[in-house]
Structure 1
Amino acid sequence: MIKFELEDCITNKEELRGLVGEPSERAKNKVISHIDENCKNFLAMSPFLMMSTSDSEGNCDSSPRGDAPGFVHVMDDHWLVIPERPGNKRLDSIMNILSNPSVGLIFLIPGLEETLRINGQATIIKDEKVLKEMHVGGKVPLIGIAVKVEECFIHCAKAFMRSKLWDRESWPSKEARPKAAKILAEHTNLPGVTEEKVAAGLRESYSKRMY
């Protein structure tokens, strides 16, 4: 493999703007600082989001969150709460938030190519009176991520149109898709951890420990 080397890099904002140009007035003015009725309706229909965080040193992470549409609860015009469902207990996003509360969220609705972006300040909560409203089958999340919204805005559809993400005809076949169990087994690289054992563990987790 040929070693990649960076060349001809952009190093300042002036050079960047000179190459790309300035945003339109609509793009500059589309950002609001609260959760209006349009955003509430979007959130009520969204079953999936991506969350971006970083720690105090700037090390970044992004992770998915998903559940039934409306699983993110809007508390008022400025606060929303994301339930933290059971996972692998790495808590990458949670740990980052404890040292740097700034978060970025992207909400998706299946079939809709525009997305909703929300940026704000997050706090980890264990308030049972809030979290019990997010129970599934009587199982209440232990913690939640409360976000004080600073920016809300719609992101255009070009990324979804280019990728054809919602076009089933463009999807790879099941046989051609990467195998998560194989990747996990090879990345873990521990004695006795095989693709078959990882696959069995994933099936058990998905069937018994969703909530």
Structure 2
Amino acid sequence: MAEDDPFQIATIDELRIHYDAPNPLILRSKLDFLHDHMLHYMKLAPIVCIASDTPSGLDASPRGGEPGFIKPLDRKTLAFADWPGNNKMETFSNVIESGRVGMLFMAPQLDVFMRINGAAIVTRDPAVLDRLIEQGKTPKAAVKVSVEEAYFHCGKAFRRSGLWKPETWPDTSGFPSVGKVLSDMAKITEMSVEQLDAFYNHGLEHELY
């Protein structure tokens, strides 16, 4: 931290002074394999956030697709594909370095998350890639995850945010276009805002897979 915080909680023991112990029933629902209910949830989830790390830093990245795009290979293993993006390859690079990921699944209208943590590798195994084909296209590579922890997480964040209730959504009409954001933040002068918007929108429309 840039400066010391006199109110910092610096130890787990100190943290626990302020919070109750978790309910034992909740702890019993943390598994090291994919239960039937988890496989069902996975089929409903069109978006997942992937957390990864290396000694030099952390990363969190979204992955999306048709519901069920994350594929269980068996009760202990799942896989997800790499599709066209910004080519920074942050998640895949982190997996190669650290060999671990955390995954947060979300399924529309369900007030519960699913979380999976485990060891991970980047693979070009043809048998795995064939399972991940979308719109007739085979991914260049995939991440294969060995499940170490799998559990459902309370959906209070959904309730607090109103994410599944359009009537609670804020008015976003005043937020600038992606082209404007990129132009301002990266100080891009070689392309106009309109050109940047066209470039971005072309990727959204024509380069998903």
The TM-score with structure 1 as length reference comes to 0.93
Distance in 2, matches of 1:183 and 1:96, equals 27
| Cα shift readout 1:125-170 (whole Å, capped 9, x = no counterpart) | 1112221222222210000010000001110011111111111011
C-alpha separation between the residues in 1 aligned to 2:41 and 2:177? 32
Q: Map of 1:19-58 to 2, 5 A cutoff?
A: 19-55=18-54, 57-58=55-56
Q: Runs (4+) of structure 1 moved beyond 4 Å? A: none
Seen in structure 2, the aligned counterparts of structure 1 residues 198 and 6 have a Cα distance that, compared at 3 Å, is farther
Does the CA contact (< 8 Å) of 2:183 and 2:189 recur in 1?
Answer: no
Determine whether 1:183 maps to 2:181: yes
1:96 to 94, 97, 122: 94
Aligned to 1:208: 206
Question: Mapping of 1:1-211 within 5 angstroms?
Answer: 6-55=5-54, 57-211=55-209
Deviates more, 1:147-156 or 1:201-210: 201-210
CA RMSD of aligned residues (A): 1.7
Structure 1 residues 193 and 4, CA gap change in structure 2 (3 angstroms): farther
SS in 2 for 1:53: strand
Deviation at 1:103, TM superposition (A): 0.8
CA distance in structure 1 between the aligned counterparts of 2:201 and 2:145, rounded to whole angstroms: 32
Q: CA deviation at 1:58?
A: 5.0
Q: CA deviation at 1:28?
A: 1.9
Q: Quick check: 2:117–2:149 contact (8 Å CA) kept in 1?
A: yes
Percent identity of equivalent pairs: 28
Q: 1:183 Cα shift?
A: 1.7
Unpaired stretches in structure 2, ≥5 consecutive residues: none
Give the distance between the partners of 1:41 and 1:48, measured in 2 at CA. 14
* Structure 2 Cα separation of the partners of residues 87 and 44 of structure 1: 23
- The letter of the residue matching 2:166 is R
In structure 1, what is the Cα distance between the partners aligned to 2:6 and 2:174? 35
Relative to the length of structure 2, the TM-score reads 0.94
Aligned residue identity for 1:117:
R
Q: Report how many aligned residue pairs link the two structures.
A: 208
SS of the aligned residue for 2:87 comes to coil
Extract unaligned runs of 5+ from structure 1.
Answer: none
Distance in 1 separating the partners of 2:101 and 2:195:
35
SS of the residue aligned with 1:75? strand
